[in-house]
Amino acid sequence: MAVDEALARVHARGRALPTLRLYAWNPPAVSVGYAQALEGEVNLEECRRAGVDWVRRPTGGRAVLHEHELTYCVVIRQSLLPGSVLATYRRLAKGLAGVLRRLGLDPVLAAPSGRASRRTAACFDEPSAHELLVAGKKVLGSAQVRRDGVILQHGSLLLHFSPGRLAQFLPGLSPERLASRAAGVSGLLGRPTGIDEASRAFREGFAQELGITLRPGDLTPEERELAETLLPRYAHPSLQRPGKGVR
């Protein structure tokens, strides 16, 4: 999270290109949204027992278990991706649909439900209107924040989904309901799908669908130094209060 915030800040200063970052988590962790409560919505004692970390994202949305999944981060100036929040979500969803198709899936955009969203702690418990479904199930969840003219969007692509494992860390969730709402790529394809395959599909499908060129890169010295400075905010649980987003 510190790296992603650093990418957004340096991009806002005009000293870095738009960025797509892909990564996995070790050890596993539960991330919660910018304004989401931590205690009461995440079973912290169970996380400690299982060796699962927790962290607050600078982006919005609800809780995600980062285990057997691929996390993406997009950082881009609003001037390069103009429009409302919903419009930019849908524009990026076009690229994400290309990722899923590259993996052999057939995604569709979730239709507006016409009703108030169910209050739930879990990102994968219910789709938003800008998100993609495969066979009626959510396989990829996204959340966004805008600061200093920059869009930072996070997302999680489920490679393997275990409803019982997610419910273990988020109180009050039904594994049966979760199983009816979300699925992993491996389960949908009927074969194991690993990080390398998913990352390759992400780079190729996202770039092709959006008509952009991606090139590999490392953190700049400025990004790396800023990430180190920001790290205590994300590493120390006492700083993990709702509303602590990108500054």
Asked if residue 200 belongs to a domain, the reply is yes
User: Domain for residue 72, yes or no?
Assistant: yes
In a domain, 221, yes or no: no
Task: List, edge to edge, every strand of the sheet that includes 150-158.
Answer: 19-23, 69-77, 150-158, 140-147
73 a catalytic residue: no
Q: Is residue 246 part of a domain?
A: no
> 116: burial class by Cβ within 10 Å (0-12, 13-18, 19+)?
exposed
Tell the residue number behind the tokens 């524009």, with chain if given.
91
Is pLDDT above 70 for 44?
yes
- Indicate the SS3 state at residue 182: strand
Mean pLDDT over 18-33 rounds to: 97
Q: What is the pLDDT of residue 11?
A: 98
Whether the predicted pLDDT of 246 surpasses 90:
no
**pLDDT surpasses 80 at 245:** no
Burial class (CB in 10 A: 0-12, 13-18, 19+), 211: exposed
pLDDT of residue 235: 84
> What whole-number percentage of the chain has pLDDT above 70?
92
Task: Quote the distance between the C-alpha of residue 69 and its chain's center.
Answer: 10
- For residues 233 and 161, the model is more confident at 161
Which residues contact residue 167 at a Cβ distance below 8 angstroms, ignoring those fewer than 6 apart? 173, 174, 175, 178
When pLDDT is cut at 50, 70 and 90, the band that residue 237 belongs to is: low
How many structural domains does the chain have? 1
d(CA 155, CA 145): 12
* Measured distance CA(217)–CA(199) in Å, rounded: 15
Angle of helix 2-12 relative to helix 221-235, nearest 10 degrees, comes to 130
Amino acid at 229: T
Q: Is residue 224 part of a domain?
A: no
How far is 243 from 26, CA to CA, in rounded Å?
Answer: 25
CA-CA-CA-CA dihedral for 49, 33, 142, 220, to nearest 10: -90
Residue 164 lies in a domain: yes
Q: Which residue has the higher pLDDT, 129 or 236?
A: 129
Six token digits for residue 145: 């924040």
Per-residue model confidence as pLDDT tens digits over 132-146: 999 999 999 999 999
Whole-angstrom Cα distance, residue 191 to residue 241? 40
* pLDDT at residue number 122: 81
Whether 48 is in a domain gets the answer yes
Average confidence (pLDDT) over 173-184:
95
pLDDT, greater one: 243 or 143: 143
159: domain CATH number?
A: 3.30.930.10
Q: How confident is the model at residue 37 (pLDDT cuts 50, 70, 90)?
A: confident
The pLDDT, as a whole number, for residue 164 is: 96
pLDDT tops 50 at residue 116: no
Q: Quick one: pLDDT at residue 247?
A: 41
Domain extent at residue 96: 2-113+121-212
Catalytic residue among 93, 123, 134, 198: 123
- Residue 247 resides in a domain: no
pLDDT at 241 over 90: no
What confidence tier does 35 reach under pLDDT thresholds 50, 70, 90?
Answer: confident
Q: Rounded to whole angstroms, how far apart are CA atoms 136 and 152?
A: 27
% the chain with pLDDT above 90: 80
Mean pLDDT, all residues of the chain: 92
Span 211-229, average pLDDT: 97
